[in-house]
Amino acid sequence: MQKLWIGLSVIISLLLSGCTSSYFKLPVQENPEALKRFDKPIQYSYDAAHYPTSIENLKTGRTFEKQSFSKPPQRIVCVWQNSIETAIALGVGDRIVAGMGVFSPQYIKKEYRTQYENIPIKGIENLDQETILMLQPDMIIGWYSTFTSKYLRSTDFWHKRGTGTYIAVSSAWLPNGQILENEFNDILNLGKVFDKSEKAEEIVNAMKKEINDVVNNTRKLKKRPRALILAGMGKQLGIYGENSLAGDLVKRLNGELLAADQKSISAEQIIEYDPDVIFYLIGETRYKDKDTIMQEVYARREFQHLTCTKNKRIVALPLNAIYTPGVRTMDGIKIIAHGLYPDLYPDPGFF
């Protein structure tokens, strides 16, 4: 474990596409006592009749491949919060030997925080390839960027060493965009790999029911709420359009997505559209500043005479609810449903 990074450095990067977000790189937190439980093979109960099993998932190069598993993985490395929280939600949080990409534990869902704290190695800092090899994982769950030469090398590199990989499909920016089915499939695939299919189906079905309830309850409304999804603070604001999960959710929840085919928008266009609601994206490094950010958004000159400004319908949208969110997809559904129909759906809060 001495090879773990202990230096403090700062990396600032922002992509309006949502492919990654700004973050501070902090020292990894180690828990030697928790690591001891991984010293010897851990036996987990599973239905042997479900194995071997296989799934189709992305590999480096943005093509799909078949991966086979003879038993559920027992030593998991999770990269980014969606991977960690989805693994915990499926009931395999006690198998996570390292979890990277969480800016602060306070942003982990309350019901998952105890298991998160029990992860032996955790934090925002990215472990290097050498350290992860030392941890001997049999599964790495991450984003497309995880399995590149700049980070942990290719999926083939790990497969040759007997380590399975899983890439959140939406993180690869494929032609089909970041549609809702990608999040469902990620959860169901991981459920199959870990022999947790029943739990995975329960999670996905709850999301489908939430969407169906919104659709059924708003079907007879005479006017569909018109929504813009914005990001950034400059003169040209970024747009989350029809190929984003947020845009997909607006449409599925009977909303009208404005500027659906644009990547950015001018002040003049915003004024011309005069949306009923604006969803404003906030990245995880700014969560603590959410109230200040929203005051600044409401104070923007081009927003002053908008209908949504007058009606207090500019809604803060956390990045982890709409970018490869995994189990957090439910948060995105509820936040967008409330934003579209504030009189019908309660405010679920920011996290």
- 9-172 folds as Rossmann fold (3.40.50)
Query: Tens of pLDDT along 144-195?
Result: 999 998 899 999 999 999 999 999 999 998 877 789 999 999 999 999 999 9
Beta-bridge partners for 66 = 56
Q: What is the pLDDT of residues 257-298, one digit of tens each?
A: 999 999 999 999 999 999 999 999 999 889 999 999 999 999
Query: Which residues face 78 on adjacent strands?
Result: 99, 141
Q: pLDDT tens digits for 314-341?
A: 999 999 999 999 999 999 999 999 999 9
CATH number of 203-340: 3.40.50.1980
Between CA 102 and CA 332 the distance in angstroms is 18
What percentage of the chain has pLDDT greater than the value 70?
92
> What are the CA-CA distances from residue 137 to residues 43, 73, 140 (Å)?
15, 8, 7
The reply to whether domains 9-172 and 203-340 share a CATH topology is yes
Q: How far is residue 286's CA from residue 292's CA, in Å, rounded to a whole number?
A: 10
The per-residue pLDDT for 32 is 81
Tens digits of residue pLDDT in 236-246: 899 999 999 99
Q: What is the pLDDT of residue 44?
A: 86
Euclidean distance between CA atoms 40 and 242, whole angstroms: 48
Q: What is the pLDDT of residue 36?
A: 83
The residue type found at 199 is: K
Q: Domain map of the chain by residue range?
A: 9-172, 203-340
Quick: pLDDT tens for 112-151.
Answer: 999 999 999 998 888 889 999 999 999 999 999 999 988 9
Backbone angles phi and psi of 63, in degrees to 5: -115, 160
Split at pLDDT 50, 70, 90, the class of 2 is very low
